[in-house]
Amino acid sequence: MAHRVIVLNGGSSSGKSGIARCLQAVLLPDAWLTFGTDTLVEAMPAGLRGSGSGIDVRADGSVSVGDAFRALDEAWALGVAAVARAGARVIVDEVFLGGPASQDRWRRALDGLEVLWVGVRCDPGVAAGRETARGDRAVGMAAAQAESVHRGVGYDLEVDTTHTESMECARLIAAHVSPM
């Protein structure tokens, strides 16, 4: 069976989005859609950003999520899975804040689909430097998430962007994608 979904899990500023864009280029002529957790957060009503029931990124970079976010996140995962079931090939750019519970939620949503699970690692100090250079993240988020999002999570493949460019990581991942 051909892979229909690639799930990239890693902390903030680990390089997931860059890898996803490179995968789209490397995997041509097949068209792969990318859906990221940032897209979900941006699509949420402003009142749920920075609130206890939604998602709250604190000044120290820690993130907490409430019931409203969890409900939307569940619907989001099911929607992304529906896109894959409808025939599209999908790259998911995700941050498993809940570790194995987050992966389990995606496993349930993607049940029956061929999924390649990829851990995207990056040295916490390097990720923190990228975070600072980006300027659009709370300082401390990258370092806090660098290891925690991987604890208890199982992968088919892991890449490390500390010293490896996104395109090379994408090529490594593409080598594990079974063709249509």
User: Active-site residues: which are they?
Assistant: 38
Please state the separation of Cα 27 from the chain's center in Å: 18
Do the Cβ atoms of 93 and 8 come closer than 8 Å? yes
Do the Cβ atoms of 95 and 17 come closer than 8 Å? no
Question: At 113, phi and psi to the nearest 5?
Answer: -100, 150
How many angstroms separate the Cα of 45 from the Cα of each of 35, 60, 65? 18, 23, 14
DSSP string, 6-31: EEEE--TTSSHHHHHHHHHHHTTTS-
Q: Per residue in 18-32, is it b (16+ CB within 10 Å) or e — as a string?
A: bbbbbbbebbeeeeb
